[in-house]
Amino acid sequence: MRRALILLPPFLWLLLLVAAPVAILAGIALSEPAPGVPPFLPPVSLEAGWQGSFANLLTLAEDWYYAAAFLRSLVVAFLSAAICLLLAYPMALGIASAREGWRVPLLALVLLPFWTGFLPRLGAWIGLLRDGGWVNGVLMGLGLTEAPVPLLYSDAALYLGMVHAYLPFAVLPLTATLLRRDLSVEEAAADLGATPWVVFRTVTLPLSLPGAAAAFLLVFIPAAGEFVIPELLGPPEALLVGRALWGEFFQNRDWPLAAALAVALLALLILPIRLFQRLEDDGGSRRAASPPSRSSGQSLDMVP
């Protein structure tokens, strides 16, 4: 009874503001655009009955323009996640093997940029990468190039921005996994004759794969629908799903097509999302099963 009272407010809230919107989104993806406010015909109405259509979803399947956007989004998300993982792994290993008192401050250093705001950091890259900017100054100063290289609004800038924004997300699950590992297993491997590199390759790395997968997906999933970073740093012509959706909604006012794009993006991401949640659940139960007094587990409590 008491539980129901506590469960009800968040449950109703989530039904209204998470479940209902997604259902409406799916409904509007099946509707026809029409002039007016809001600019679509509801797919089902009392007077006309069913008046929806699958035209929007068919458009996405048939028009190469959108297929290319999806493909490019997946490539960008995959590469961003891969680069983040490569950068994050040594960082996480460095934090996990640091002395006890250093771990939390080091982790805070990784996470603090997240608290400084996403837009200011992108602003910094705009300032650094423009033609007369700092990066070009350094390159010319080193004699690497004579004239400024166009860096801003390029693929390189896009990936720099993506990796800079999402790197902390990748470090966190990896650090948590590496902190939880049983060091005696590595000592056993060394005792059995494995060199440090072999210990890493045969023990540390395989045991940290669930954490690595979580880190990868934690970048991949939001990166696939990213809008702001490509808009501010990427090449203007680079078409990604997030931008296509934004354009259909704000510029073309084609809400049904934007909704169809969102539904298609969700369908595409459902598999990685399920995989991520499975990894989270496994990690969660492992955390719960380990004794609560383990300091390494608790040191992550205060950070998001």
Partner 1 sequence: MRRVGLAVGLSFLWLPILLLVGYAFSADRIPFQWGGFSLRWFAALAANERMLEAAWLSLRIAAGAATLAVLLGGMAGWVLARHGPFRGRAVFGALAGAPLVLPEVVTGLSLLLLFVVLQGWAEAALGWQVGRGAATVLLAHATLGLAYVAVVVQARLAGMDPALEEAAADLGAGPFTVFRTVTLPLMAPALVAGWLLAFTLSLDDVVVASFVSGPAGTTLPMLVFSQLRIGLTPEINALATVILALAGLAVGAAALILGRNGRRGPGAG
> Which residues inside 261-300 make contact with partner 1, applying CB under 8 A?
262, 265-266, 269, 273, 276-277, 284, 287-288, 292, 297-298
User: DSSP string of 191-248?
Assistant: HTT--HHHHIIIIIHHHTHHHHHHHHHHHHHHHHT--HHHHHHS-TT---HHHHHHII
Instruction: Please give the angle made by the CA atoms of 247, 248 and 252, to the nearest 5 degrees.
Output: 95
CB of 149 to partner 1, least distance (A): 16
Q: Which of 44, 123, 188, 205 binds partner 1 (CB under 8 A)?
A: 123
Residues 6+ apart with CB under 8 A from 7: none
Considering only residues 241 to 260 of the shown chain, the ones binding partner 1 according to CB under 8 A are: 241-242, 245-246, 249, 255, 258-259
Q: How far is CA 201 from CA 93, 157, 180, 275, in A?
A: 13, 33, 18, 24
Structure tokens at 36: 């007016």
Residues 6+ apart with CB under 8 A from 164: 113, 121, 125
Q: How far is CA 291 from CA 184, 282, 288, 298, in A?
A: 17, 16, 8, 10
- Cβ-based nearer residue to partner 1, 58 or 196: 196
- Cβ-based nearer residue to partner 1, 92 or 189: 92
Considering only residues 30 to 49 of the shown chain, the ones binding partner 1 according to CB under 8 A are: 38
Stretch that binds partner 1, among 46-54, 90-98, 142-150, 207-215 (CB under 8 A): 90-98
In angstroms, rounded to a whole number, what is the distance separating the alpha carbons of residues 243 and 76?
13
Beta strands in the chain (DSSP E): 32-33, 40-41, 44-45, 49-50
Stretch that binds partner 1, among 43-51, 62-70, 88-96, 184-192 (CB under 8 A): 88-96
CB of 7 to partner 1, least distance (A): 5
- Cβ-based nearer residue to partner 1, 67 or 284: 284
- Classify 192 in phi/psi space as left (phi over 0), alpha (psi -120 to 50) or beta: alpha
Q: Which of 74, 93, 140, 149 binds partner 1 (CB under 8 A)?
A: 93
Stretch that binds partner 1, among 61-69, 111-119, 142-150, 180-188 (CB under 8 A): 111-119
Helix (H, G, I), strand (E, B) or coil at 41: strand
Q: Which of 33, 52, 168, 230 binds partner 1 (CB under 8 A)?
A: 168
- Cβ-based nearer residue to partner 1, 49 or 132: 132
CB of 51 to partner 1, least distance (A): 16
Q: Is 203 near partner 1 (CB under 8 A)?
A: no
CB of 128 to partner 1, least distance (A): 6
Q: Please give the size of the binding site for partner 1, defined by CB under 8 A.
A: 94
CB of 269 closer than 8 Å to CB of 188 = no
Residues 6+ apart with CB under 8 A from 85: 170, 212, 215, 216, 219
CB of 265 closer than 8 Å to CB of 224 = yes
Taking residues 128 to 157 in sequence order and writing x for each that binds partner 1 by CB under 8 A, - otherwise, the string is x-x-xxx-----------------------
CB of 206 to partner 1, least distance (A): 18
CB of 273 to partner 1, least distance (A): 5
Considering only residues 211 to 240 of the shown chain, the ones binding partner 1 according to CB under 8 A are: 221-222, 224-228, 231-232
